[in-house]
Amino acid sequence: MAKSAKIQKVLAMPQLIWGWRSYWIRGVFCWFVGVIILLNQSKDNFDLRFQIRGASLQQNNIVIVNISEREWALIRGNQDSNTIQNGVDHLSSLSDTYFWHESTWVHVLKKSLSLNPEVIGVSFVFGHNIAPLSSSNRDLEILRNSKIVWGAELDNEGKIIYPRFARRFDDNSGILELNPDTDGILRRFTNGLGPTNHFAAQLAKKFDSQSQIEADLGFIINYQGPSRTFETISLYELLTEPDNSRRFVGKIMIFGAENSPGHTYQTPTGPMSESESLANIVDNIIYSRNIQRIPYSVYVFLLAGLIILSAWNVFRFNQLTSFIFHFITTVILLAFSAWAFDAAYIFIPSLPIAITGFCSYIIFLSYQSNIYEHRAWQLEQEKQYLHDIEKLKQNFVSLISHDLKTPIAKIQGTVDKLMSARPNDKNLESDLKSLRQSGTELNRYIRSILQVSRVEAADFRINRKPTDINDLTESVLTELHPLAKQKHIQLSKALEPMFSIEIDEILIREVIHNLIENAIKYTPQRGHIEVRTTESDQQISLLVKDNGPGIPENELNDVWTKFYRGQSEKDGQSNGSGLGLYLVKYFVELHGGTVFINSQIGNGTEIGFYLPIPNSETDEMKEQV
């Protein structure tokens, strides 16, 4: 049994999913938009982060020594230019050759080593492109100092071109190779070059043997700022500044060309010299500051979550709240993304978040308004339909009631005639009486229904004229006296003299009639009923008090509703339509008055109404209106 229920549930799934299509098709659309933006925009988005963030360098352990071509020429003087070796002109080292001058470099490095840095990197390739060395052994020792890392290069076939001073099995050289993305911007660093490390990795290793490059596959470079973020001095300054003694102690010095061809890269923070790019990479390796990105698969899940959140928000709250919620969520997510980038070096693209969130918010919001509009239209249709039916009903009821009145009058007339003939048969006489009674009840019933349909019609107007409530009450009492007499009920009255007020005489007469009639109807034989009228400054009141059975507390509010009859009356103890008190309330309220009732089981009922006394001026105005 349970199993078949389960199977049924599973079988119903596709139908359920199809039923919810308006939601998930929209969701999938937004998700699609988000993924497309993610795939297309994340690069620009990524670059922008660096531009917004600006310089954020915390530890400054790297100093860049810039060598400009002009400066080099000055330092070198007009010395020999026999350094270019024939045949090696296909690599960037063609321009590097320009920067080769043996005795100058010996001098520069000697000076640098004396300043006691931890490592010195020379980001030039001085391999076969320079002439064989001619220095003395002492000078060669300087060039081969283990604190120095020289640049190496890969040739067209991917073979390493070692620098002249490389100790092949040692670590004083590293490959100088940076690979920009297809759009020409340098964002990634790769170390995967076999047994020889990258120049930057080599520098980092010499500086801190613990520093480990994340993976040989490389990483995304976390630029610490635009060009000139790292401390930079010119070669000239290095050689001439008298107080350089403490500036380089324990640091990494990177020598590089300032803006020569082959020594400049486009980076997310703008153009940068090769040595500065290398400084950023070394910094990333030493402090493990490289950027992580969350995998795309995780990201697309996050986007789906965002869309669900957005839909929930729209359908859960009203428009203003959902807008505020959407706004705050977006700001929080963007702030989180910025924080993750700055503090935890995790790149979470923010544009797809903002656009997917906005897109799903708008799409679900418009869908929701569509639903509301459709519902409102349906309601309007329903209202119109109900209105038509109500009209039809009213027409039908009044038509029928009207047509019933004539035959009943005929029957009543005939019964009267038969009764006045004084039949001898006692049974026949009582039957005729009962027939007469039923006819009267039916007549009253029809009258009530007709009255209801008349007053509920849209074009119903009340017809006010000055009337004395006491006169009306007297007349109703006279009319109902025989009825009370039949039940030996004592009717007493206490009518306070009062001025006439503007009311619809027919309607208020009906009100008083219904109240006293009810009292007589529901008070047992030999009961007592009192009718009292009073007048104050603003209102007059009429009260009918009986010592009948009373009305249960839980029915007190219901007695005023259409067709409502008390429980005992429903059980068949008396006849009636349940319209009497409904009309009482309706008529009194039409006059701007209120009804009241106090009753307790066994203690009788006090029921009546208050009517406002209209001030004559406002009344005149009302008449004009």
Least CB distance from residue 500 to ligand ATP, whole Å?
27
Q: Alpha carbon 5 to chain centroid distance?
A: 37
Sign of CA dihedral 309, 311, 317, 323: positive
Question: Footprint of Mg ion on residues 120-179 (CB under 5 A)?
Answer: none
- Residue 62 or 507: which CB sits closer to ligand ATP? 507
* Among the listed residues 268, 549, 580, 614, the single contact to Mg ion using CB under 5 A: 580
| Binding at 547: pick from Mg ion, ligand ATP, none (beta carbon under 5-8 Å per type) | none
Count of CA atoms in the C-beta half-sphere (13 A) of 356: 32
Which tokens is 437 given?
Answer: 């009674």
- Which of 257, 368, 246, 251 minimizes the C-alpha distance to 310? 368
**Is position 566 an interface residue for Mg ion (rule: CB under 5 A)?**
no
| Residue of the chain from 196, 202, 310, 518 that contacts Mg ion (CB under 5 A) | 518
Which helix (H) or strand (E) covers residue 494, if one does?
A: strand 490-495
Q: Tell the smallest beta-carbon distance from residue 591 to ligand ATP (Å).
A: 19
Dihedral (Cα; 283, 289, 293, 298), 10-degree rounding: 160
Closest CA to 187 of 277, 297, 259, 274: 277
533 - beta bridge partners? Answer: 495, 542
Quick one: 441 or 456, whose CB is closer to Mg ion? 441
Task: Tell me how far apart the alpha carbons of residues 596 and 35 are, in angstroms, rounded to a whole number.
Answer: 69
In the complex, least distance from residue 451 CB atom to ligand ATP, rounded to whole angstroms = 10
Pairing assessment for the beta strands 292-293 and 346-347 based on DSSP bridges: parallel
235's contact among ligand ATP, Mg ion, none, with CB below 5 to 8 A by partner kind, is none
Considering the complex, state which of residue 228 and residue 488 has its C-beta at the smaller distance from ligand ATP. Answer: 488
> Which of 352, 580 has the CB closer to ligand ATP?
580
> Which residue's entry shows tokens 């630029």?
223
Can you point out the beta strands (E) in 207-334? 219-220, 231-234, 252-257, 264-267, 270-273, 292-293
The residues binding ligand ATP (CB under 6 A) are 448, 514, 518-519, 522, 546, 548-549, 551, 559, 564-566, 569, 576-582, 605
- Pick the stretch among 29-37, 300-308, 416-424, 574-582 that binds Mg ion (CB under 5 A): 574-582
The partner in contact with residue 315, picked from Mg ion, ligand ATP, none with C-beta cut-offs of 5 to 8 angstroms by kind, is none
Which C-beta is closer to ligand ATP: that of 356 or that of 577? 577
Could you tell me how many residues of this chain bind Mg ion (CB under 5 A)?
Answer: 2
CB closer to Mg ion, 181 vs 589: 589
Rounded Cα distance, 101 and 380, in Å: 93
Rank residues 150 and 582 by Cβ distance to ligand ATP and give the closer one. Answer: 582
579 touches which of Mg ion, ligand ATP, none (CB within 5 to 8 A by kind)? ligand ATP
As given in the structure block, the two tokens for residue 373 are 């509009």
99 binds, among ligand ATP, Mg ion, none (CB under 5 to 8 A by kind): none
- Interatomic CA distance for residues 562 and 369, integer angstroms: 38
Phi and psi dihedrals of 397, rounded to 5? -60, -45
Minimum distance between the CB of residue 386 and ligand ATP, rounded to whole angstroms?
Answer: 24
Torsion of CA 568, 570, 576, 582, to 10 degrees: 90
CB of 525 to Mg ion, least distance (A): 18
Which residue number is nearest to ligand ATP in terms of Cβ?
Answer: 566
Which of 171-179, 298-306, 573-581, 598-606 is the region at the interface with Mg ion (rule: CB under 5 A)?
573-581
> CB 585 → Mg ion: shortest distance, Å?
12
Compare residues 62 and 519 and give the one whose CB is closer to Mg ion: 519
Binding residues (CB under 5 A) for Mg ion: these are: 518, 580
